[in-house]
Amino acid sequence: MTTAYQPLPTDPRTVLRDISASARNSPEIAALRLAVLRLDIPDAIVQIDAVRQDDTAIAVKATIGLPGGARHSAIAAHDVTGDSGWAIQYAATEAEAIARALDGLGISLQKQIGAAASPAKSQTQPNHAPSKTNADDHLPEYSWNAFWREAHTRGISREDVERALGRSIQEVAPQEAVIALKSSGLWTS
């Protein structure tokens, strides 16, 4: 059963708000998140590469670059199972890579659906991008890789991070995790 093509709404945030409550990292959510990115930052660069795609595994790399020079890449990979079609599994893996790349730049789903609808305009930084302060010098970039390198040297586990956040790390950007850990006393400068 196929469905007819549905063009994206004028403001994809409306649909994104509606469907994000019931689904996480679906291909539809990824498409809407990219549409919101294009509205907010029309000059953003999005590159999706299939790192591996065969009968046993799928790996997808998503890279998102912002006009000011910020860039983040993320890879998602899954074993191919017989539970669903290969194309469905590829789309889900791609959606996960896109979500991780956006989150790594500090462009979380919550920030995207919470942003006020406004006409598209060229920006050097997104309205919701974190500003780097001297207190964050120990994290040279806002990426999960840099975060985990530093967290492991401090003896901080995923469970510690989620306990400090009060929710899953899948829902936040790395800098939000640092702020929560600092508040809980686990991350000292």
Q: How confident is the model at residue 142 (pLDDT cuts 50, 70, 90)?
A: low
Interatomic CA distance for residues 148 and 38, integer angstroms: 29
**How high is the pLDDT of residue 135?**
47
Q: Which residues pair with 60 in a beta bridge?
A: 50, 76
Q: Give helix 86-104 / helix 144-153 axis angle, nearest 10°.
A: 70
Q: Does the pLDDT at position 163 exceed 90?
A: no
Under DSSP, is residue 57 helix (H, G, I), strand (E, B) or coil? Answer: strand
Specify whether the CB–CB gap between 78 and 14 falls below 8 A: no
Give per-residue pLDDT as tens, 38-69: 888 888 999 999 999 888 899 999 999 988 88
pTM for this entry: 0.55
Q: Does the pLDDT at position 150 exceed 70?
A: yes
Give per-residue pLDDT as tens, 87-99: 888 888 999 999 9
What is the overall mean pLDDT for the chain? 76
Give per-residue pLDDT as tens, 100-140: 999 888 888 888 877 544 433 333 333 333 344 444 444 44
